[in-house]
Amino acid sequence: MTIEEAQAKVDEWINTVGVRYFNELTNMTILTEEVGELARLMARKYGEQSFKESDKNRELDDEMADVLWVLICLANQTGVNLTDALKKNFEKKNIRDATRHQDNEKLH
């Protein structure tokens, strides 16, 4: 599925099953919550925190998909075409960071 298709599918789902979008501020708050859930799982899986019983059935792919879902909702609500935005972001990075990481001694 392309990013454009994902934006269309989320929009269709929201407008049928979900009734309507939550407002932008609510979705921004939900996005923050979902990123927090992903961070919690990362800290337990790759960091030094131990798993709590309530964390044991959580999966990274599902938590990342939750983050992506809400980000797509926000893009749809605010008129952002994520495909175009990502292309522009690559262009920016290719100019700004053309040699930055190659020149970073910490990465070698």
Q: What is the mean pLDDT of residues 79-104?
A: 94
pLDDT digits (tens, 9 = 90+) for 8-43: 999 999 999 999 999 999 999 999 999 999 999 999
| Residue 24, pLDDT score | 98
Buried/exposed 59-96: b ≥16 CB within 10 Å, e otherwise: eeeebeebbbbbbbbbbbbeeeebeeeeeeeeeeeeee
| Segments making up each domain of the chain, as ranges | 3-81
pLDDT bucket at 53, cuts 50 / 70 / 90: confident
The 3-state secondary structure of 37-98, one letter per residue: HHHHHHHHHCCCCCCCHHHCCCCHHHHHHHHHHHHHHHHHHHCCCHHHHHHHHHHHHHHHCC
Out of 1.10.287.1080, 3.40.640.10, 3.40.50.300, 1.10.150.120, which CATH number does the structure's domain 3-81 have? 1.10.287.1080
How far apart CA 20 and CA 14 sit, in angstroms, is: 6
Q: What was the pLDDT predicted at 14?
A: 98
In the predicted model, what is the mean pLDDT of residues 92-106?
90
- What pLDDT is attached to residue 66? 98
Average pLDDT in the chain: 95
Query: What's the pTM value of the predicted model, to 2 decimals?
Result: 0.90
